[in-house]
Amino acid sequence: MMNNNIFHNLISFYTNHAYTDNYVFGFTCAGMVYAVTIHHADGILPYVMTLDKASRGQGYSLRFKPNKAQKAVLMENGEVQALCSVEYFNDCVENSIYNRGEIFEKMVTENLGVEWEKDNVPYTDGGDVEVDGIAYQIKFEKATFTNEKSMGLMM
């Protein structure tokens, strides 16, 4: 029961402080990398997030680690696009200084016709990309949304 409370508190905190509720979620499935765009995703977040232990004494974290059922929920509720093969994606990661999340963000951003630039804008201050005046957060498998330590610092 305690973990359930922590999970709901983290989601509530995150959604109350997030700059946008528009997301592009990324994950692998059947050898492909998919991007799923969901507008006004606050209602779906509890179904696609996972409570996890944060690192280095930061308490619990809210993460995007989708299982098969969560991937299905996203695909049923969003605009689905196959971006590339997992093999191509992994090659891009291996031949780059960036991690998987950053490479996914770069691919999505460039696919939207926007030049990608690595930034560290907090989720409370802006999205990862803006298209036609709409800000989007971009999250790939294993991404962290927030953790208890961040929540305590911002309250």
Distances (CA, A) of 27 to 58, 91, 104, 114: 25, 16, 9, 21
Is residue 13 assigned to a domain?
yes
The answer to whether the predicted template modeling score (pTM) of the entire model surpasses 0.95 is no
Contact 66, 78 (CB under 8 A): no
pLDDT at 155: 46
Is residue 74 assigned to a domain?
yes
β-sheet with 60-64: strand ranges across: 50-53, 60-64, 143-147
Is residue 155 assigned to a domain?
no
> Tens place of pLDDT for every residue, the chain, 155 residues?
558 888 999 999 999 999 999 999 999 999 999 999 999 998 999 999 999 988 888 889 999 999 999 999 999 999 999 999 999 999 999 999 999 999 999 999 999 989 999 988 999 999 999 999 999 999 999 999 998 888 775 54
Is residue 118 assigned to a domain?
yes
Structurally, the chain folds into a number of domains equal to: 1
Any idea which residue has 């969003």 for tokens? 78
Domain that holds residue 137: 2-150
Is residue 51 assigned to a domain?
yes
Q: What is the dihedral of CA 60, 63, 68, 72, to 10 degrees?
A: 130
Is residue 77 assigned to a domain?
yes
